[in-house]
Structure 1
Amino acid sequence: MDSSLVEGGLNVTLTIRLLMHGKVSVMACNSGARINISEGNCPERIITLAGPTTSIFKAFSMIIEKLEEDISTSMTNSTATSKPPVTMRLVVPASQCGSLIGKGGCKIKEIRESAGAQVQVAGDMLPNSTERAITVAGTPQSIIECVKQICVVMLESPPKGVTIPYRPKPSGSPVIFAGGQAYAVQGQHAIPQPDVSEGPSLTKLHQLAMQQSPFPIAHSNQGFQAGMDASAQTGSHELTIPNDLIGCIIGRQGAKINEIRQMSGAQIKIANPVEGSTDRQVTITGSHASISLAEYLINAR
């Protein structure tokens, strides 16, 4: 790491989350950084690098070099004439993405130009989380420089509110929450999943949003449904949303509101605009937990 970054206040303890596909091996063990790889039979894995910035960037450089090596190896058995760039995805709280993009995109343009890498911030949050993916592509050196600059911005603009971390899920297994416990629905059974919290902030969110007892693990459709009914004491809650923000919540062709419905399990109805009113009425119906989670996700938007 160059001295200007230390002088710029980056010589601190840092955490970087990377999203990687396929088999992941720990290729940066001797970097001095703490490395954690998410478990589970998923095509995607989250690699978390934590520690002093010098160790973080050493580990990060080793991972990038390995990816570059893999591309070179695949090129020897390929008919392709041009070498593809190394591509890396960071996972960042959505609340920090505004600072990374900057007013009118000025900050991200500055990072692209000075680092010489392509940088793309995803418009949508990753499933069941309040994080977004940032894709960085280029030469190993340009990616490292780009990530250093992203880290400077993230340190200057800490995340706001509660961050729900992205956790890759095996395809085809819906996940539901009850009593602060996550369950994967597989066939007729609800299988308890490892604690979904990564840090105290999410645990607190679950304590607030999921104040209900977990339904029993069932061994038949009937029992499963009964368990869900027992925990589903329904109610409704109304929110007032300014007209100029309603588009953010509905999303393109209703994609966002459908995502919130799916994640929370609540029914959400948005009233038609009333002439002369600057607000829209939103009615959320469901269990106490699903209403709390839906309200949180709407506020996050």
Structure 2
Amino acid sequence: MDSGVIESGLNVTLTIRLLMHGKKGETVKKMREESGARINISEGNCPERITTLVGPTTAIFKAFSMIIEKLEEDISSSMTNSTATTKPPVTLRIVVPASQCGSLIGKGGCKIKEIRESTGAQVQVAGDMLPNSTERAITIAGTPQSIIECVKQICVVMLESPPKGVTIPYRPKLSGSPVIFAGGQLTKLHQLAMQQNPFPIATNTTGFTGIDASQNTTHEMTIPNDLIGCIIGRQGAKINEIRQTSGAQIKIANPVDGSTDRQVTITGIPASISLAKYLINARLSSEATGLATN
């Protein structure tokens, strides 16, 4: 598949997730009406929002072009009140599942180099996942036309290499709260975990011990090989801490030849699984922001 297929608007439904600043308003309404794409902007009081574009390829790229034009206008208007003499390039970030980034980068970086050279855009794939998610940000900068062509090529790669495993989407509003592992914070931590993953929980349980094992369920998730070390910790210290804190059983599968991910199986009551997942994702986000300690 090449970008000509994307251009032709065959019945391919695409989803593009953009990480942007700004709020809803007349501009978005106009974009929806003129493009025919579904445009959704995440709620929350954080400065960054996730803008999701969904629809047939032609509608998506019409909406995307309008967004780029708006960003270009914003730069031009900011230049009128500025002493800067050179106009900065249009820059935006798209959010993609980490499991698709390998295909996007290519062997030895050949694919991303090809995209850079053929479109003229600067493209950078973040090395770490966004907090509390399994998604990575891709930063694209350049002229409006080079960015549009670049995103088309990225979409082609993503259509050819679907995401593997479960994708935990990035939600900007969750990244603002620091995670503290001090003893007194456990209840708060549990509440946070339940907000993110609302499971029914028995009202008569005051702790994680002595609960009927028949309520146990199993949850599986995949974690990239290069991040598994921060979950295990030195001599298994971190994984044991997560087991004790959550009350869940956690098994990490051995590496599989040819796979870049490790399978993690979490068993326990829904509340324990929820808390274990939260602690694992918090650990991954700490690693991503350079805060993780052994």
TM-score by length of 1: 0.64
**Structure 1 match to 2:13:** 13
> Quick check: 1:250 aligned with 2:229?
yes
> Quick check: 1:232 aligned with 2:208?
yes
Q: 1:175 to 1:59 in 2, by over 3 A?
A: farther
Q: For residues 266 and 192 of structure 1, what CA distance do their matches in structure 2 show?
A: 12
Alpha carbons 2:125, 2:137 under 8 Å: kept = yes
From 268, 273, 286, the equivalent of 1:289 is 273
**Residue type at the aligned position of 1:28:** M
Alpha carbons 1:41, 1:170 under 8 Å: kept = no
Q: Alignment partner of 1:126: what SS?
A: coil
Residues 133-170 of structure 1: CA distance to partner in whole angstroms, max 9, x if unpaired? 11110000000000000000000000101111111116
Report % sequence identity: 69
**Structure 2 match to 1:128:** 132
The CA deviation at 1:292 is 5.2
The CA deviation at 1:21 is 1.7
Alpha carbons 1:266, 1:285 under 8 Å: kept = no
Q: For residues 265 and 65 of structure 1, what CA distance do their matches in structure 2 show?
A: 49
> Quick check: 1:148 aligned with 2:152?
yes
> Quick check: 1:100 aligned with 2:104?
yes
Residues 233-281 of structure 1: CA distance to partner in whole angstroms, max 9, x if unpaired? 499xxxxxxxxx9753235xx7xx989x89x965999xxxxxxxxxxxx
Structure 2: gaps (5+ residues): 181-186, 212-223, 251-263, 288-294
Q: For residues 78 and 238 of structure 2, what CA distance do their matches in structure 1 show?
A: 40
Q: 1:95 to 1:172 in 2, by over 3 A?
A: closer
TM-score by length of 2: 0.66
**Residue type at the aligned position of 1:289:** I
**Residue type at the aligned position of 2:108:** G
Q: For residues 89 and 111 of structure 1, what CA distance do their matches in structure 2 show?
A: 16
The CA deviation at 1:288 is 2.9
The CA deviation at 1:24 is 4.6
Q: 1:131 to 1:265 in 2, by over 3 A?
A: farther
Q: For residues 234 and 61 of structure 1, what CA distance do their matches in structure 2 show?
A: 58
Q: For residues 119 and 49 of structure 1, what CA distance do their matches in structure 2 show?
A: 20
* Equivalent runs, 1:253-272 vs 2, <5 Å: 266=246
Residues 160-216 of structure 1: CA distance to partner in whole angstroms, max 9, x if unpaired? 01111111116643589xxxxxxx969xx97985xx5xxxxxxxxx5xxx766177x
Larger proportion of strand: 1
Q: 1:57 to 1:7 in 2, by over 3 A?
A: closer
Q: Alignment partner of 1:230: what SS?
A: coil
Aligned pair count reads 238
**Structure 1 match to 2:31:** 28
Alpha carbons 1:24, 1:45 under 8 Å: kept = no
Residues 208-239 of structure 1: CA distance to partner in whole angstroms, max 9, x if unpaired? xx766177xxxxxxxxxxx9x8253499xxxx
Q: Alignment partner of 2:23: what SS?
A: coil
Q: 1:78 to 1:175 in 2, by over 3 A?
A: same
**Structure 2 match to 1:113:** 117
Structure 1: gaps (5+ residues): 177-183, 197-205, 216-226, 236-244, 270-281
**Structure 2 match to 1:157:** 161
Q: For residues 123 and 69 of structure 1, what CA distance do their matches in structure 2 show?
A: 31
The CA deviation at 1:3 is 8.0
**Structure 2 match to 1:222:** none
**Structure 2 match to 1:61:** 65
